[in-house]
Amino acid sequence: MNEIGAINRVLKLVSLLSDYPHLTAKQAATLLGWPVSSTHRMLRKLAELEFALQTEKGSFAAGMELYRIVGRLSSKMPFAAIAEPLLAALTRQFNETSMLTILERRQLRMYTALAASPQDPMRYIVELNRRDPLVWGASGRALLAYLRPEEIDAAVSGSTARNIRGEALDESEIRAALEEIVRDGYSLSRSHRTLNSIGMAVPFFGPHGEVVGSVGFQIPAFRFHDGQIETLVTALKQTATIISQQIGAKPEY
Protein backbone atom coordinates (compact mmCIF):
# COMPACT_ATOMS: atom_id res chain seq x y z
CA MET A 1 0.00 0.00 0.00
CA ASN A 2 1.44 3.41 -0.95
CA GLU A 3 1.60 6.34 1.45
CA ILE A 4 -1.46 8.11 0.02
CA GLY A 5 -3.49 4.91 0.20
CA ALA A 6 -2.48 4.38 3.83
CA ILE A 7 -3.42 7.94 4.78
CA ASN A 8 -6.76 7.53 3.01
CA ARG A 9 -7.49 4.36 5.00
CA VAL A 10 -6.57 5.95 8.32
CA LEU A 11 -8.82 8.94 7.65
CA LYS A 12 -11.73 6.70 6.66
CA LEU A 13 -11.30 4.69 9.85
CA VAL A 14 -11.14 7.82 12.02
CA SER A 15 -14.28 9.12 10.29
CA LEU A 16 -16.02 5.82 11.04
CA LEU A 17 -15.09 6.09 14.73
CA SER A 18 -16.72 9.52 14.83
CA ASP A 19 -19.98 8.14 13.41
CA TYR A 20 -20.36 5.02 15.58
CA PRO A 21 -20.09 4.97 19.39
CA HIS A 22 -18.71 1.40 19.44
CA LEU A 23 -17.41 -0.85 16.66
CA THR A 24 -15.69 -4.21 16.51
CA ALA A 25 -12.94 -4.69 13.97
CA LYS A 26 -15.24 -7.03 12.04
CA GLN A 27 -18.04 -4.44 11.92
CA ALA A 28 -15.62 -1.74 10.76
CA ALA A 29 -14.18 -4.05 8.11
CA THR A 30 -17.66 -4.88 6.83
CA LEU A 31 -18.66 -1.22 6.62
CA LEU A 32 -15.46 -0.28 4.79
CA GLY A 33 -15.10 -3.41 2.68
CA TRP A 34 -11.64 -4.18 4.08
CA PRO A 35 -10.03 -7.39 5.41
CA VAL A 36 -10.70 -7.90 9.11
CA SER A 37 -7.05 -8.54 9.96
CA SER A 38 -5.71 -5.28 8.50
CA THR A 39 -8.64 -3.31 9.92
CA HIS A 40 -7.90 -4.69 13.38
CA ARG A 41 -4.20 -3.79 13.08
CA MET A 42 -5.05 -0.21 12.13
CA LEU A 43 -7.53 0.11 14.99
CA ARG A 44 -4.93 -1.18 17.45
CA LYS A 45 -2.43 1.37 16.14
CA LEU A 46 -4.99 4.17 16.50
CA ALA A 47 -5.60 2.98 20.06
CA GLU A 48 -1.86 3.18 20.81
CA LEU A 49 -1.92 6.80 19.64
CA GLU A 50 -5.15 7.47 21.65
CA PHE A 51 -7.17 8.26 18.53
CA ALA A 52 -9.20 5.16 19.40
CA LEU A 53 -10.12 3.45 22.66
CA GLN A 54 -10.32 -0.33 22.91
CA THR A 55 -12.89 -1.50 25.44
CA GLU A 56 -12.66 -4.56 27.67
CA LYS A 57 -15.06 -6.35 25.34
CA GLY A 58 -12.77 -5.73 22.38
CA SER A 59 -14.79 -3.09 20.55
CA PHE A 60 -13.36 0.29 19.59
CA ALA A 61 -14.56 3.85 20.18
CA ALA A 62 -13.21 7.33 19.59
CA GLY A 63 -10.18 8.04 21.79
CA MET A 64 -9.23 11.05 23.89
CA GLU A 65 -6.82 12.48 21.33
CA LEU A 66 -9.59 12.51 18.73
CA TYR A 67 -11.94 14.23 21.19
CA ARG A 68 -9.23 16.78 22.01
CA ILE A 69 -8.76 17.70 18.36
CA VAL A 70 -12.49 17.85 17.69
CA GLY A 71 -13.02 20.04 20.75
CA ARG A 72 -10.35 22.52 19.71
CA LEU A 73 -11.67 22.71 16.16
CA SER A 74 -15.31 23.03 17.27
CA SER A 75 -14.48 26.09 19.36
CA LYS A 76 -13.02 27.70 16.23
CA MET A 77 -15.80 26.70 13.85
CA PRO A 78 -15.96 29.41 11.15
CA PHE A 79 -19.75 29.75 11.13
CA ALA A 80 -19.64 33.09 9.37
CA ALA A 81 -17.45 31.75 6.56
CA ILE A 82 -19.79 28.81 6.05
CA ALA A 83 -22.99 30.85 6.19
CA GLU A 84 -22.03 34.07 4.40
CA PRO A 85 -22.66 32.87 0.82
CA LEU A 86 -25.81 31.06 1.94
CA LEU A 87 -27.28 34.17 3.57
CA ALA A 88 -26.34 36.25 0.55
CA ALA A 89 -28.23 33.81 -1.66
CA LEU A 90 -31.33 33.96 0.58
CA THR A 91 -31.31 37.75 0.56
CA ARG A 92 -30.91 37.90 -3.22
CA GLN A 93 -33.76 35.44 -3.71
CA PHE A 94 -36.28 37.07 -1.36
CA ASN A 95 -34.98 40.64 -1.02
CA GLU A 96 -35.22 40.43 2.78
CA THR A 97 -32.73 40.58 5.64
CA SER A 98 -31.35 37.15 6.54
CA MET A 99 -29.44 36.29 9.72
CA LEU A 100 -27.30 33.62 11.34
CA THR A 101 -27.79 33.27 15.10
CA ILE A 102 -25.55 31.23 17.42
CA LEU A 103 -26.60 29.67 20.72
CA GLU A 104 -24.61 30.31 23.91
CA ARG A 105 -25.91 27.33 25.79
CA ARG A 106 -24.33 27.87 29.19
CA GLN A 107 -25.76 31.37 29.42
CA LEU A 108 -29.06 30.40 27.74
CA ARG A 109 -28.51 33.30 25.37
CA MET A 110 -27.89 33.85 21.69
CA TYR A 111 -26.18 36.36 19.44
CA THR A 112 -26.45 37.25 15.76
CA ALA A 113 -23.13 36.35 14.15
CA LEU A 114 -23.89 37.42 10.59
CA ALA A 115 -26.57 39.23 8.60
CA ALA A 116 -27.18 39.99 4.93
CA SER A 117 -29.29 43.00 3.98
CA PRO A 118 -31.05 43.74 0.68
CA GLN A 119 -30.64 46.94 -1.32
CA ASP A 120 -34.23 47.94 -0.57
CA PRO A 121 -34.45 51.26 1.36
CA MET A 122 -36.81 49.58 3.84
CA ARG A 123 -34.41 47.10 5.40
CA TYR A 124 -33.12 46.25 8.85
CA ILE A 125 -29.67 47.00 10.21
CA VAL A 126 -28.99 44.08 12.52
CA GLU A 127 -26.73 44.55 15.53
CA LEU A 128 -24.16 41.76 15.58
CA ASN A 129 -22.68 39.94 18.59
CA ARG A 130 -25.18 41.31 21.13
CA ARG A 131 -26.29 38.66 23.61
CA ASP A 132 -30.06 38.34 23.86
CA PRO A 133 -32.40 36.04 25.81
CA LEU A 134 -33.93 33.08 24.01
CA VAL A 135 -37.53 33.70 25.03
CA TRP A 136 -38.32 36.48 22.54
CA GLY A 137 -37.97 36.44 18.77
CA ALA A 138 -38.07 33.67 16.19
CA SER A 139 -34.30 33.16 16.23
CA GLY A 140 -34.19 32.62 19.99
CA ARG A 141 -37.25 30.42 20.23
CA ALA A 142 -36.02 28.24 17.36
CA LEU A 143 -33.06 27.42 19.63
CA LEU A 144 -34.92 27.22 22.93
CA ALA A 145 -37.38 24.65 21.58
CA TYR A 146 -34.58 22.10 21.12
CA LEU A 147 -32.94 22.43 24.53
CA ARG A 148 -33.40 20.00 27.40
CA PRO A 149 -36.57 20.42 29.52
CA GLU A 150 -34.59 21.70 32.50
CA GLU A 151 -32.87 24.29 30.29
CA ILE A 152 -36.22 25.44 28.92
CA ASP A 153 -37.56 25.70 32.48
CA ALA A 154 -34.57 27.81 33.54
CA ALA A 155 -34.84 30.13 30.53
CA VAL A 156 -38.59 30.64 30.90
CA SER A 157 -38.94 30.86 34.68
CA GLY A 158 -35.85 33.01 35.11
CA SER A 159 -36.67 35.56 32.41
CA THR A 160 -37.71 39.10 33.22
CA ALA A 161 -37.21 40.28 29.63
CA ARG A 162 -40.13 42.00 27.92
CA ASN A 163 -40.86 42.27 24.23
CA ILE A 164 -40.61 45.52 22.25
CA ARG A 165 -44.19 46.39 23.23
CA GLY A 166 -43.35 46.08 26.93
CA GLU A 167 -45.29 42.87 27.43
CA ALA A 168 -44.11 40.34 30.01
CA LEU A 169 -43.53 36.74 29.06
CA ASP A 170 -46.62 34.51 29.13
CA GLU A 171 -45.41 31.07 30.19
CA SER A 172 -48.35 29.17 28.72
CA GLU A 173 -47.95 31.01 25.39
CA ILE A 174 -44.24 30.31 25.04
CA ARG A 175 -44.54 26.65 26.01
CA ALA A 176 -47.26 26.15 23.41
CA ALA A 177 -45.13 28.00 20.86
CA LEU A 178 -42.11 25.78 21.58
CA GLU A 179 -44.19 22.65 21.00
CA GLU A 180 -45.31 24.06 17.64
CA ILE A 181 -41.71 24.84 16.67
CA VAL A 182 -40.62 21.24 17.29
CA ARG A 183 -43.67 19.97 15.42
CA ASP A 184 -43.28 22.26 12.39
CA GLY A 185 -39.51 22.74 12.34
CA TYR A 186 -39.58 26.54 12.30
CA SER A 187 -40.37 29.55 14.47
CA LEU A 188 -42.46 32.61 13.59
CA SER A 189 -42.71 35.78 15.67
CA ARG A 190 -44.54 39.08 15.24
CA SER A 191 -43.14 42.30 16.76
CA HIS A 192 -41.13 40.57 19.48
CA ARG A 193 -37.88 42.53 19.20
CA THR A 194 -38.72 45.13 16.55
CA LEU A 195 -42.07 46.86 16.05
CA ASN A 196 -44.04 45.91 12.94
CA SER A 197 -41.57 43.17 12.11
CA ILE A 198 -41.94 39.49 11.31
CA GLY A 199 -39.24 37.06 12.40
CA MET A 200 -38.84 33.58 10.99
CA ALA A 201 -36.11 31.05 11.86
CA VAL A 202 -35.08 27.42 11.43
CA PRO A 203 -32.50 25.70 13.68
CA PHE A 204 -29.35 23.92 12.55
CA PHE A 205 -27.58 21.15 14.42
CA GLY A 206 -24.13 19.84 15.29
CA PRO A 207 -22.45 16.43 15.02
CA HIS A 208 -24.39 14.87 17.91
CA GLY A 209 -27.79 16.30 17.04
CA GLU A 210 -27.39 19.23 19.42
CA VAL A 211 -28.89 22.55 18.38
CA VAL A 212 -26.12 25.02 17.51
CA GLY A 213 -27.81 28.01 15.93
CA SER A 214 -30.55 29.20 13.62
CA VAL A 215 -30.89 30.85 10.25
CA GLY A 216 -33.75 33.25 9.67
CA PHE A 217 -35.41 36.28 8.12
CA GLN A 218 -36.50 39.64 9.49
CA ILE A 219 -39.29 41.08 7.35
CA PRO A 220 -41.30 44.32 7.57
CA ALA A 221 -44.87 43.41 8.49
CA PHE A 222 -46.36 45.39 5.59
CA ARG A 223 -44.39 43.22 3.11
CA PHE A 224 -45.39 39.92 4.68
CA HIS A 225 -48.44 37.69 4.29
CA ASP A 226 -49.07 34.17 5.53
CA GLY A 227 -49.09 32.80 1.99
CA GLN A 228 -45.31 33.30 1.93
CA ILE A 229 -44.61 31.06 4.90
CA GLU A 230 -44.23 27.75 3.07
CA THR A 231 -41.81 29.13 0.47
CA LEU A 232 -39.71 31.00 3.03
CA VAL A 233 -39.57 28.08 5.45
CA THR A 234 -38.55 25.66 2.69
CA ALA A 235 -35.64 27.92 1.74
CA LEU A 236 -34.56 28.32 5.38
CA LYS A 237 -34.74 24.57 6.00
CA GLN A 238 -32.60 23.88 2.95
CA THR A 239 -30.02 26.41 4.14
CA ALA A 240 -30.08 25.06 7.71
CA THR A 241 -29.53 21.53 6.40
CA ILE A 242 -26.47 22.65 4.42
CA ILE A 243 -24.99 24.38 7.47
CA SER A 244 -25.73 21.37 9.69
CA GLN A 245 -24.00 19.00 7.31
CA GLN A 246 -20.99 21.28 6.87
CA ILE A 247 -20.41 21.36 10.63
CA GLY A 248 -20.66 17.59 10.91
CA ALA A 249 -24.31 16.73 11.54
CA LYS A 250 -25.64 13.44 10.26
CA PRO A 251 -28.01 13.59 7.25
CA GLU A 252 -31.22 13.40 9.33
CA TYR A 253 -30.39 16.86 10.71
Residues 120, 154: one domain? yes
Here the CATH number for the domain that contains residue 193 is 3.30.450.40
Could you tell me if residue 64 is inside a domain? yes
Written as one string, the DSSP assignment of 118-140 is -SSSS---PPPS--EESSSSHHH
Taking the complete model, does pTM exceed 0.75, yes or no?
no
Give the pairing of strands 52-54 and 60-62: antiparallel
* Interstrand relation of 97-104 and 60-62 (parallel, antiparallel or unpaired): unpaired
CA–CA distance, 47 with 63 (Å, rounded to integer):
7
Q: Is residue 45 part of a domain?
A: yes
Q: Are residues 68 and 166 in the same domain?
A: no
* pLDDT value, residue 119: 87
Tens of each residue's pLDDT in the chain, 253 residues: 677 888 999 999 998 888 787 899 999 999 999 999 999 999 999 999 999 999 888 999 999 888 888 766 665 667 878 999 999 999 999 999 999 999 999 889 999 989 999 987 777 888 888 889 999 999 999 999 999 999 999 999 988 889 999 999 999 999 999 999 999 999 999 999 999 999 999 999 998 899 999 999 999 999 999 999 999 999 999 999 999 999 888 776 5
**Displacement of CA 170 from its chain's centroid (Å):** 27
Structural domain that includes position 81:
77-246
Do 163 and 87 fall into the same domain? yes
Together in a domain, 169 and 241: yes
**Beta partners for residue 111, in sequence order:** 102
CATH number at residue 64: 1.10.10.10
Query: Is residue 252 domain-resident?
Result: no
Q: List CB contacts of 159: < 8 A, sequence separation 6 or more.
A: 133, 135, 169
Residues 82 and 190 in one domain: yes
The pLDDT assigned to 253 comes to 55
Tell me, yes or no, whether 137 and 120 share the same domain: yes
Output phi, psi for 24, to 5 deg: -85, 165
Q: In this structure, is residue 251 part of a structural domain?
A: no
Same domain? For 146 and 202 the reply is: yes
Bridge partners of residue 201, in order along the sequence: 187, 216
Give which of 14, 68, 2, 22 is closest to 39, Cα–Cα: 14
Q: Do residues 23 and 105 both lie within one domain?
A: no
CB 64 within 8 A of CB 71: no
